[in-house]
Structure 1
Amino acid sequence: MSADLQTPYESGNQNQTTTWEQCIAFYQRLAERFPAILYFSQIGVSDAGVPIHAGVVSADGVFDREQIALEKRPVFFNNNGIHPGEPEGIDACMALVRDFCIEPDRLARLGRTVFLFIPIYNVDGCHNRQDTSRVNQDGPEMFGFRGNSLHLDLNRDFIKCDSLNAQVFNQFFTAWDPDVMVDTHTSNGADYPYTMTLIHTQSDKLGAGLGQFLRQTMLPAVYQDMAQRGWPTCPYVNPILESPDQGIEEFLETARFSTGYAALHHTIGFMPETHMLKPFADRYASMRALVEVVLDFTVSHGAQIQQLRDAARQLGQTRSHWPVNWQRDDERVSTVNFKGYAACHRPSILGDYSRLYYDKNQTWEKPIPYYNHFKEAVVVRSPVAYVVPQQWRAAIERLQWNGVEFERLSANKTVQAQSYQIRSVQSRAHPYEGHMFHDEIVLDAVNGQHQLREGDVWIPLNQEQARYVVETLEPQAHDSFFRWGFFNSVLEKKEAYSDYVFEDLAAELLQTEPELNKQFDAWKLAHPELLTDQSAVLDFIFTHCQCFAEPEWRRYPVLAIFE
């Protein structure tokens, strides 16, 4: 092999990862030398103005996205470098694409399947290069940073799309519509012998035949093939208590994460997590093996996966109810055979407490509890359509980026619709990825007449992107637009009062509004300690009276049409 076809990892001491400049130049050389195998191009720019690239490998030189879709060719997507401090996937992908170019037998085994990849997704973080930010990680010598130039974690940005990267990714992913995705990572957490652990799209949440196929057919095959390649793999180690021997639970990857976002498009997603404390060379080798194993399975089962995805989309167009929130099912507990290190404790030398450590001289292997089932926690009735008023442009943009079909009303009209009145919201005390994320929401459904305006967006649910629509527009969904604060202005009451004037008006309101008086009496009984607080008393009357009500206050603006 000529030197210019070697990756930095291969040409160094196996503790090196590529820079962004080296990586892009490497793919550009390959694409120039092997134009019938690799197409490589820029798909966008980051917030710092750095180009974002993607590549396509095809055994017969077909790179056109529309032709690939028309011919129903399976698409396997490998995303790398979302966290550039976890870089083994970046380097493994470089070598795998090179081997497609120079090994005819390997290329031929792709058959009709297309290998789609983003070499480095967080290009800003890749340029922020140092050797200190990964506190517990064994190599490589230098690496990139988790955050992008906006200090965002891009694996929390797939729904809210604060970054240009996510906006590009949403449109790229929707356009290519991959059947299977592998998004490469390195894990923090407990210590154990495994180099490779695996997060996958949660099967119950993925649902229908696709989720069953993933759990019963695809995952067993992946674990078996990894073991045969010398890299025994276990589920992502997410302990329910302090250490794995007490049991682990499946990771509920909601739509903010890559695999949860993929599920909105009925794509099977994998997030391999190599173990931080294993040498970089082992992490690299196991990551390449994992990508190849999942790719091989996709090649041999591509048609079946596509049929299951089509069936899931068709079901979404006709289903009467949608689960939008999930919780662990403690009544259905599986077991998994696990190899571990003894979890021990000893006094800390830093403070007056006992600290955890893992004794690698004490190994064990036994079945442990595995909570790998989730049940529907919130289910909503499926409307005929949703209406998003045109002024909520940020939500509408994201619907467009994800291929959602809608029409703009050509005239004003009055409709009977359901809206939500927001009774209460509890948000995180500190910013989370740039937002005051809403953890707890209490809603009341209200039916009534609403005036729609010319230009408002009408979104029918009998479409392939129904799942994306429901899980972003229903407020109680795990990562809805509402939870991320897209509609925060409706939570603010716009008018106020002067206490010395409103004091007299409030007394009159209690006489003229019997329901208000009843609510006030109940409030006084529940909160006698607040009766000495003028602001608390007047605020209650002001916010609950009908006379000075603001119709838009605490009314979720998206409407559901059921007739």
Structure 2
Amino acid sequence: MKKRHFLKIFVGVLGIFLVGTLLAQEKPLTKAEASGFKATSRYRDVMDFIDQLQQLSPYLRVEKLAESPEGRYVPLLVIGRPLPTPGPQLKNDLRLVVYFQANIHAGEVEAKEACLMLARKLVLNPDSEYLKKLIILIAPLFNADGNEKISPNNRRNQVGPEEGVGVRANGLNLDLNRDAMKLESPELRGLLENVLLRWDPALVFDGHTHNGSYHEEPVTYIWQLNPNGDQSLIDYMSQQMMPSVGKILEKKYQTLSIPHGDFMDIRQPEKGWRPLGPQPRYLTNYIGLRNRLAILNENYPYKDFQTRVKGCYHLLLAILDYCQQHAEEMKQLIAQAEQRTVRLGMKPGPEDYFIVEYDVEPLPEKIKVRGYEMTLEKRPGKWPRVKINEEKKIIYEMPFYARYVARRKVRYPWGYLIAYPDPEVLENLLRHGLVVERLTAEVTLEVEAFQITSLKAAERLYQGHHLN
């Protein structure tokens, strides 16, 4: 009998604990939370969640970011107290504008869930310090079409969610994180028109899931890397903001993080750590060319789904912690970068140049990565497989190759003349927000001209194009 009473008491206490845990969660719940992190949100889940948030707060407005190729409304959440007004009036608003974007690759879903959780926190806590100094824009479902192709067979290399994730490409079979310059997708065109040109965010966050190296840290990040962007902004991100965000993550949110990258040589990990390249087709590098701050987040795929979502959520909070404390400093740095760019455009000097080919160098400080013993397993007719021994942990200290410098450069031009205007080219320039003017009278100018002496295209198509 005593054992039976003990069992009843134990079950009762356990039941109270579980109910208490569920009640302690903020409502509404995301699909990930409600499913015990076995599933990710589908389009209808996201839209229903946003509808519920709107009913809870007057400080949330939903705007249209874009319409997807398959006809889905891509939502943009605007959160502020008071709600801001875009356009000329925004120049008189002293708050810093921050933009969080998720699900550009719809198989990489942690940031989608984390962004919804962040929106909920902001809506339920309107008196928070965040809303005193910041205007927060959130696009939790950037690739809405890819998100609806959820299957357990997608991204099988990552750990969960059990019920599957979406696909990388959008409804036009385009990789949206390769479209920042050519703007062939309605999603990127909408981003330019309805976010970058309309709201001009000081900071852009783009959330992903990584495919690569094995390490303990669940969260990785990297800043804008293209050296044609203002170098002071790149240095600010690499030397001040992101090291500070990493410390906030660890101390306040008990979440380990490192700058994003991969081992350059698995057989000799100490050779170096290197992130994704500097090409401006990647969104965060493109943002850097616009003299704004950018963060690419890559979450570690081999941790369980719940750990990845919570790690990403903590990263979002750590970024907001930093931004609300350093808002004025960030605005001043961007304003100074803008002034330097205007000077370059008005009167470029002999020391001013544009980089057309890059080399990469290590940053002054080495990076430490909490990794494991690794070996390469050869497989006939296939790429070698990396095998790790999780019981043998190793801290790898190595050069961090994340500074791009000029291999070949040209003088900075005063402007460009388009001798044979192509309507599509002109339209794209205008979409980017560039000033395009028509000469209305004859003029004599000393110019440099491009001369194409040969053109050899790659045999395989890349994003529907032959690369030269």
Q: 2: distance between equivalents of 1:356 and 1:370?
A: 21
- Larger Rg, first or second structure (1 or 2): 1
Matched, 1:234 2:258: yes
Matched, 1:212 2:235: yes
Matched, 1:202 2:225: yes
DSSP-derived class of the 1:52 partner: strand
1:47 to 1:239, Cα distance in 2 relative to 1, 3 A: same
Deviations 1:287-343, CA, capped at 9 Å, x for gaps: 001111112211111111111111111111223223233533447664112211111
Corresponding residue of 2:411? 381
DSSP-derived class of the 2:454 partner: strand
DSSP-derived class of the 1:96 partner: helix
Picking from 149, 152, 159, the partner of 2:174 is 152
Question: Is residue 28–residue 40 contact of structure 1 (8 Å, CA) maintained in 2?
Answer: no
Paired letter, 2:315: L
- Following superposition, the deviation at residue 415 of structure 1 comes to 4.0
Paired letter, 2:198: A
DSSP-derived class of the 2:288 partner: helix
Corresponding residue of 1:135? 156
Deviations 1:76-135, CA, capped at 9 Å, x for gaps: 1001110111111111111111111112443x4321310011121111101222121203
Matched, 1:190 2:213: yes
Question: Is residue 203–residue 215 contact of structure 1 (8 Å, CA) maintained in 2?
Answer: no
DSSP-derived class of the 1:82 partner: coil
Higher relative contact order (CA 8 A, sep 6+): 2
Paired letter, 2:125: E
Picking from 274, 283, 297, the partner of 2:308 is 283
Corresponding residue of 1:407? 437
How many residues are aligned here? 435
Q: 1: distance between equivalents of 2:67 and 2:315?
A: 29
Corresponding residue of 1:125? 146
Question: Is residue 230–residue 291 contact of structure 2 (8 Å, CA) maintained in 1?
Answer: no
Deviations 1:456-491, CA, capped at 9 Å, x for gaps: xxxxxxxxxxxxxxxxxxxxxxxxxxxxxxxxxxxx
Paired letter, 2:65: I
Matched, 1:53 2:84: no
Q: 2: distance between equivalents of 1:310 and 1:318?
A: 13
Q: 2: distance between equivalents of 1:299 and 1:232?
A: 22
Deviates more, 1:400-409 or 1:335-344: 400-409
Question: Is residue 226–residue 278 contact of structure 2 (8 Å, CA) maintained in 1?
Answer: no
Matched, 1:336 2:367: yes
Deviates more, 1:320-329 or 1:112-121: 320-329
Corresponding residue of 1:323? 354
Q: 2: distance between equivalents of 1:156 and 1:352?
A: 27
Question: Is residue 158–residue 170 contact of structure 1 (8 Å, CA) maintained in 2?
Answer: no
Deviations 1:354-413, CA, capped at 9 Å, x for gaps: 643122122111421222222112322222221224631222112211221232223455
Q: 2: distance between equivalents of 1:423 and 1:353?
A: 38
Question: Is residue 205–residue 374 contact of structure 1 (8 Å, CA) maintained in 2?
Answer: no
Corresponding residue of 2:133? 112
Corresponding residue of 1:256? 281
Corresponding residue of 1:84? 106
Deviates more, 1:77-86 or 1:417-426: 417-426
DSSP-derived class of the 1:184 partner: strand
- Following superposition, the deviation at residue 142 of structure 1 comes to 2.3
1:99 to 1:257, Cα distance in 2 relative to 1, 3 A: same
Matched, 1:177 2:162: no
Q: 2: distance between equivalents of 1:398 and 1:78?
A: 24
Paired letter, 1:90: K
- Aligned ranges for residues 416-455 of structure 1 at < 5 Å? 416-438=446-468
1:65 to 1:38, Cα distance in 2 relative to 1, 3 A: farther
- Following superposition, the deviation at residue 151 of structure 1 comes to 0.9
For normalisation by structure 2, the TM-score amounts to 0.87
Residue ranges of structure 2 left out of the alignment (5+ in a row): 1-22
Corresponding residue of 1:467? none
Picking from 33, 54, 57, the partner of 1:34 is 57
Q: 2: distance between equivalents of 1:59 and 1:398?
A: 35
Matched, 1:25 2:66: no
Corresponding residue of 1:463? none
1:322 to 1:174, Cα distance in 2 relative to 1, 3 A: farther
DSSP-derived class of the 2:76 partner: strand
Question: Is residue 203–residue 214 contact of structure 1 (8 Å, CA) maintained in 2?
Answer: no
Q: 2: distance between equivalents of 1:31 and 1:389?
A: 51
1:325 to 1:415, Cα distance in 2 relative to 1, 3 A: closer
1:314 to 1:391, Cα distance in 2 relative to 1, 3 A: same
Corresponding residue of 2:7? none
Corresponding residue of 2:17? none
Q: 2: distance between equivalents of 1:353 and 1:253?
A: 26
Deviations 1:136-162, CA, capped at 9 Å, x for gaps: 011112221111111111000111111
Question: Is residue 362–residue 402 contact of structure 2 (8 Å, CA) maintained in 1?
Answer: no
Deviations 1:162-199, CA, capped at 9 Å, x for gaps: 11111111222222111111111000012121211112
Corresponding residue of 1:371? 401
Q: 1: distance between equivalents of 2:416 and 2:42?
A: 46
DSSP-derived class of the 2:369 partner: strand
Question: Is residue 130–residue 320 contact of structure 2 (8 Å, CA) maintained in 1?
Answer: no
DSSP-derived class of the 1:296 partner: helix
Corresponding residue of 1:445? none
DSSP-derived class of the 1:387 partner: coil
Deviates more, 1:414-423 or 1:122-131: 414-423
Give the superposed CA RMSD: 2.3
Corresponding residue of 1:452? none
- Following superposition, the deviation at residue 9 of structure 1 comes to 1.7
Question: Is residue 334–residue 372 contact of structure 1 (8 Å, CA) maintained in 2?
Answer: no
1:58 to 1:387, Cα distance in 2 relative to 1, 3 A: same
Question: Is residue 154–residue 164 contact of structure 2 (8 Å, CA) maintained in 1?
Answer: no
Question: Is residue 56–residue 63 contact of structure 1 (8 Å, CA) maintained in 2?
Answer: no
Matched, 1:357 2:379: no
Deviations 1:516-537, CA, capped at 9 Å, x for gaps: xxxxxxxxxxxxxxxxxxxxxx
Paired letter, 1:189: G
1:332 to 1:6, Cα distance in 2 relative to 1, 3 A: closer
DSSP-derived class of the 1:110 partner: helix
Paired letter, 1:96: L
Corresponding residue of 2:188? 166
1:353 to 1:338, Cα distance in 2 relative to 1, 3 A: closer
Q: 2: distance between equivalents of 1:236 and 1:216?
A: 15
Deviates more, 1:263-272 or 1:324-333: 324-333
Question: Is residue 148–residue 166 contact of structure 2 (8 Å, CA) maintained in 1?
Answer: yes
- Following superposition, the deviation at residue 54 of structure 1 comes to 0.5
1:295 to 1:426, Cα distance in 2 relative to 1, 3 A: farther
Q: 1: distance between equivalents of 2:264 and 2:26?
A: 48
